Structure 1
Amino acid sequence: MTIVALDRYVAIDCEMVRCNTEAGLARVALVDHAGKVLYHSFVFQHPANVVDYQTQKSGITQALLKDAPTVETVRKQVVEIIGSKIIVGHALFNDLAVLQHRHDYEDVRDTALFYPIRERMGIKHEGMYPSLRLMAKEILGRDIQDGAHCPIEDARTTMEIFLKYRAEYEKGIADGDDVVSGVPRAHAKWYW
């Protein structure tokens, strides 16, 4: 089995607002394997397009987004950082969709889809995902998301959980196993 260097991993988490027709990117964070913040930004969303800032869940308000960079600027900066990295995330398909970015399937590690984590959390059905909050409590023995979600905290937590399962995850990929639910690996080129 090939050992993947730790510096190839980058965890990502995005917070969204509800816009007229779809979710809108409102905040994003990237951290390395040690939890060091590589990138963090709020994202401008025009107030006329926002239906719900989801402030109670996300802590995001119109004022926080007012002078933030545009989605296009943030997307470009994020894609530049994740480039050829292995990205780690929780329900990563949501983050990549709101970023409108496709990543090579082989370079994605999703803790919400990894079978051993799902089994530990008692998730047996496709389309159901364990919450990051409950995973942090069960796997790390730590409470997170006390109040508004913070993408830095969520990305760090996701990375920490992934690293506990890293050897098993990488072995499964190297062996050609279907390590994630709902994604037929043999046919997958892109993730999301």
Structure 2
Amino acid sequence: MYQQEPVSFNLDWKVPCVIYFARRNITKLYDLKVTNPITSEVLYATSSLVNTPRRMNMMFMPLDEGEKLSACSVVGIDAEFVTLNQEEAELRSDGTRSTIKPSQMSVARISVVRGKGELMGEPFIDDYISTSEQVVDYLTQFSGIQPGDLDAAISSKHLTTLKATYLKLRHLADAGVIFVGHGLKKDFRVINMIVAKEQVTDTVDLFHLPRQRRISLKFLAWYFLGINIQSTSHDSIEDARTALKLYHKYKELIAEGKEVQAAIKEMYEKGRALQWKIPEEDTDQSQGSVAKKDII
């Protein structure tokens, strides 16, 4: 059963957009070199489904040939999603709720930012993903996606196909790049992409104590970085940058010889005292910086 899983496709629940096979021991059996069919050229592409330059607002700077990403290169990543089908549920006779069919999520935007150098934090991928299926909820409050963003006829975004964006992510993963983000387990699951555990650094896990609640990116950014994010809606570039900053903050604490677990424990104590709500007086960046000095 499991042996047939990779080569059988039940179109009722999965549709492949990219697929390639490589035998693991092929070089031992034959005198040849196996090359990845997905090259770095996919990262240099700027083509969009929006073919009116005056209307398209490109919010990223693609990599150039001098920027080579290889094993252990670090990038920040975040993804936003929309709902294609609402959850179907029913109430049982005892008053409990039973899910008949879960909601179907679809990736709508993927942003990837540089992890180091003079351009650290600058996005080189910011793709909005076109879908032929009807979107029933853009989840704008949580995704920042607006009606029309995914429609090539009226969109002002850098709109691509899922395949085009998937090729970029697949190349990064095959190159051994380290992905830094917040809640990446869910992101990669909905994107339908498997990335080796050693290539994923999730800030939701870095700043987490066992058997305790997982902390939001917004609260971590306020506490450890002294900045306020997601003030109006979510933005995947902002979230990717913030996760990257938290990653570097974590490494900074270690480099300074500080007890990281103690700092995280203090954060939990502060969070419980505030009921995990950021004080209104600390919502601007400058006041947040003062608060950071006081509590770290």
TM bin (shorter chain): 0.7 to 0.9
Structure having the higher helix fraction is 1
Q: Which residue of 1 aligns with 2:111?
A: 29
- Match of 2:124, SS state, is strand
Is 1:15–1:27's contact at 8 Å kept on the other side of the alignment? yes
Q: Which residue of 2 aligns with 1:72?
A: 163
- Match of 1:144, SS state, is coil
Counterpart of 1:118 (choices 198, 208, 211) is 208
- Match of 1:87, SS state, is strand
- Match of 2:136, SS state, is strand
- Match of 1:51, SS state, is coil
**1:52 maps onto 2:128 in alignment:** no
Q: Which residue of 2 aligns with 1:109?
A: 201
Is 1:39–1:78's contact at 8 Å kept on the other side of the alignment? no
Structure having the higher strand fraction is 1
Query: What amino acid does structure 1 have at the position aligned with 2:219?
Result: L
Q: Which residue of 2 aligns with 1:94?
A: 186
Query: What amino acid does structure 1 have at the position aligned with 2:208?
Result: R
RMSD of aligned residue pairs (Cα, Å) = 2.4
The Cα shift of 1:168 comes to 7.3
**1:153 maps onto 2:238 in alignment:** yes
Separation in 2, partners of 1:167, 1:160: 10
Query: What amino acid does structure 2 have at the position aligned with 1:100?
Result: N
- Match of 1:102, SS state, is coil
Counterpart of 2:221 (choices 119, 136, 145) is 136
Separation in 1, partners of 2:77, 2:205: 15
Query: What amino acid does structure 2 have at the position aligned with 1:37?
Result: P
The Cα shift of 1:92 comes to 0.6
TM-score (norm 2): 0.49
Separation in 1, partners of 2:72, 2:123: 13
Q: Percent identity?
A: 31
**1:16 maps onto 2:101 in alignment:** no
Query: What amino acid does structure 2 have at the position aligned with 1:51?
Result: V
**Highest RCO, 1 vs 2 (Cα 8 Å, sep ≥ 6):** 1
Is 1:10–1:82's contact at 8 Å kept on the other side of the alignment? no
Separation in 2, partners of 1:157, 1:167: 15
Is 1:7–1:32's contact at 8 Å kept on the other side of the alignment? no
Provide, for residues 48-85 of structure 1, a one-character-per-residue CA deviation record: whole Å limited to 9, x for no partner: 2x221012222212311112222222111222234310
Q: 1:137 to 1:167 in 2, by over 3 A?
A: closer
Give the unaligned 5+ runs of structure 2. 1-69, 86-102, 153-158, 255-296
Query: What amino acid does structure 2 have at the position aligned with 1:23?
Result: M
TM-score (norm 1): 0.74
The Cα shift of 1:6 comes to 10
Structure showing greater Rg: 2
Question: How many residues align structurally?
Answer: 158
Separation in 1, partners of 2:202, 2:186: 11
Is 2:140–2:233's contact at 8 Å kept on the other side of the alignment? yes
- Match of 1:61, SS state, is coil
- Match of 1:103, SS state, is coil
